[in-house]
Structure 1
Amino acid sequence: MTTTHSHGGRLLADIGGTHARFAYQCAAGGPLASVVVWPVTRFPSLLDALRHYVDSLAPQRVAMAAIAIANPVVDDAVHMTNHDWSFSQRELREALGLRQLCVVNDFTALALALPTLPEAHRRQVGGSTPVEGAAIGLIGAGTGLGVSGLLPDGRGGWLPLAGEGGHVTWPAITPRERLVFDGLVRRHGHASAERVCSGSGLLGTFGLLCEADRVTHDITTAAAVSDAALSHAHPQALEALALFCGVLGAVAGNLALTLGARGGVYIGGGIVPRLGNWFDGSPFRERFEAKGRFGDYLRPIPVWVITAPESPALQGVASLLDSLD
């Protein structure tokens, strides 16, 4: 028999394709406590990970939970795109004895955190001053490519967007981009933005460039590609990282035009923040603005790299619970 806890705190989670982040909040507006980061491969299922975390909180109880997950959330059943976890929201709530459970896309949750993101937790890359009350864009590369945004609701608040913009067809412009594009179509049947702007995408792009140039290598991870690029140890690694940034800029510019995101565009995910100032001189900003007649429209739009030490998506799902509690 499952016991539902009517009194207790809040479990907050941000589940990506590589890491799972958890935090505990005693009540609405309270600080986040007991923050942990675990590799998703440590547990056979999300329920196992949640139970392990809840057990670690004893004697504190959990009455409600909000989970951000790197996956579309369209009905009760959730099957992760970039990991093998699957679950039923109803069964998860019942198994944990929760009064309330909310599950949203991870970038929808991250978007909810943007209005209160401290200035110290973001770094500007080009543009000037945001237009107050205008739409805001969000994009970020990690295990996958997340896309979201915020639209003004007309009452001083914001409406977060839930979508799968990382899977749009990416705009190949240069001959080398078209080479990679064609290689991705041969392998996958479709060349989505995520196939380039993600960890696996960076590694795959590097491999296709090496294959085209008949260059052998022993690099097997995206992190190793980045390291080789930043240290100028491998020409194709540097080219792959530059291509990654250029495509990310083109897709982010498309997002800004689509949303009218004159309130700025934020970059989340784990890859870009690790590039530091190198990213500022990458092709990102040039490609962001390279929209022909609408270059002048995009030029003043600021882009910020999110540099928060902890996942802002945890604050985002906390604000979601605030709105429902």
Structure 2
Amino acid sequence: MSDSYAISPACPLLLADIGGTNARFAIETAPGQLSAVKVLPCAAYASLEAAMQHYLQDEASLAAGAQEVRHAGIAIANPVHGDQIRMTNHHWEFSVSAVRAHFGLERLHVVNDFTALALSLPHLQAHQYFQVGGHQPLADSAIGLLGAGTGLGVSGLIPCGERWLPLHSEGGHASFTPGNAKEAAILDVVWSEFPHVSAERLLSGPGLSLMYRALAELQKKSVTPLEPPAILLRGLQGECAICTEVLSTFCEMLGTIAANLALTLGARKGIYIGGGIVPRLGDFFQHSGFRARFEDKGRFQDYLAAIPVYVITEAYPALIGLSALHRQQSAH
């Protein structure tokens, strides 16, 4: 998919994608041109303001025009309602109006990170994603979006004339649905710890660690808890049978969630997968049971078999979406 940058926003434009683990910053120096891209660990800063201040004082940021920034956009892994933002997966909280005043901004847009990611989809080029099964996208249909990282984000785009309307969804917190007896057994184990098991509880970085413990318990094996990066590394390299099973089960579970989203939205223009986990799986994901599970919907198997799924490989898609949002709002 591609689109032109018909309307030039006020540049330089500060863009920030704030996740539960990392904060990604960039300055757009011209439409579509991101400069001084930098990733800061959220845990290293007491507040959003502290992280922003550090970034804006960085040598590369100053060279890109940080001192002239008067417009900014922030995508954050959190529901966005009103002026006060309190993060779900991190301790940062802030007032939008206070941040705008503190940095002397004329305009500051704050949106959910998956709203920003959804808005990037019409602007992605072929080299920024790869396809996993399905046929050609159906024009004038909805697009679905999900992605697992620190949490599980869900969104989508609905066609509206020449524009796309993003969904402000918190679908990752919908109840987890097992697809077979093994997943039901995992759910039983997790239920003993959490009274409500959302899709995010298992389909996320922390979910990999939780699933590792659950599978070990079901197999009556004593294991040392592992962090998500270790599970990914050992599973992909075949060094740990349980880790590999975690990754295989994750891919199949994601197939169920993606298919549910496709059916719910009628997303026949495609399902896009972002987040930090799936792009790291590479060929493992391509050869996993994801696509078979995605199409395993009985009478609607043919319907789903036609829907293409795309894995986003672009490193900073939410920043592209924030830029698109700023252009769209500058047009009004």
Corresponding position: 1:228 with 2:243: no
Aligned to 1:89: 96
> Does residue 325 of structure 2 align to residue 320 of structure 1?
yes
Residue 13 of structure 2: aligned partner = 10
Once residues 173 and 8 of structure 1 are traced to their aligned partners in structure 2, the CA distance between those partners, rounded to angstroms, is 48
User: In the TM superposition, what whole-angstrom CA distance separates every residue of 1:237-289 from its partner, at most 9, and x where no partner exists?
Assistant: 12211111111110010000011000000000010111111101111111111
Partner-residue secondary structure (3-state), 1:304? strand
Tell me how far 1:55 sits from its aligned partner.
2.1
Which sections of structure 2, spanning at least 5 residues, go unmatched?
1-9
CA distance in 1, matches of 2:145, 2:163: 17
Question: Residue 49 of structure 1 aligns with which residue?
Answer: 51
1:164-203 superposed matches below 5 A? 164-203=170-209
**Residues 54, 62 of structure 1: 8 Å contact kept:** no
Judging changes above 3 Å, is the alpha-carbon distance between structure 1 residues 151 and 210 closer, same or farther for their aligned structure 2 residues? same
Partner amino acid, structure 2, of 1:33? S
Residue identity over aligned pairs, in percent, reads 49
Q: Among residues 16, 21, 24, which one is paired with 1:21 in the alignment?
A: 24
Asked whether 1:304 is paired with 2:310, we answer yes
Distance 1:205 1:96 in 2: 43
Q: Which runs of 4+ in 1 moved over 6 A?
A: none
Say whether the 8 Å CA contact 1:143–1:198 is kept in structure 2.
yes
Equivalent position of 2:3 in the other structure:
none
Deviations 1:1-48 (A, max 9, x none): xxxxxx862110001111110011235x25111110111111111010
- Give the corresponding residue for 1:103: 110
For 2:267 and 2:278, the matched residues in 1 are separated by 20
C-alpha contact (below 8 Å) 2:32/2:320 kept by paired residues:
no
TM-score by length of 1: 0.94
The one-letter code sitting in structure 2 at the alignment partner of 1:235 is A
Q: Distance in 2 between matches of 1:78 and 1:180?
A: 34
Q: Which amino acid aligns with 1:49?
A: A
Aligned partner of residue 117 in structure 2, secondary structure: helix
State the shift of 1:219 in Å. 4.5
For 2:78, the equivalent position in structure 1 comes to 71
Distance, in Å, in 1 between the alignment partners of 2:278 and 2:230 is 15
Greater CA deviation, 16-25 or 56-65?
A: 56-65
- Tell whether the 8 Å contact from 1:184 to 1:190 is kept in structure 2 after alignment: no
- On the 8 A contact 2:32/2:323 being kept in 1, the answer is no
Question: Which is worse superposed, 105-114 or 8-17?
Answer: 8-17
**Cα pair 1:78 1:89 within 8 Å, conserved:** yes
Cα distance in 2 for partners of 1:318, 1:21 equals 14
Q: Which amino acid aligns with 1:247?
A: M
In 1, Cα distance between equivalents of 2:79 and 2:233: 31
Alignment of 1:138-157 (within 5 A): 138-153=145-160, 155-157=161-163
In structure 2, C-alpha distance between the alignment counterparts of 1:74 and 1:177, rounded to whole Å: 34
Please state how far the C-alpha of 1:74 moved relative to its aligned partner. 1.4
Which residue number in structure 1 is paired with residue 6 of structure 2?
A: none
Partners of 1:8 and 1:224 in 2: CA distance: 41
CA contact (8 A) 2:179 2:253 kept: no
- 121-130 or 169-178: bigger deviation: 169-178
Alignment gaps of 5+ in structure 1: 1-6
Amino acid at match of 2:124: L
Partners of 2:42 and 2:292 in 1: CA distance: 36
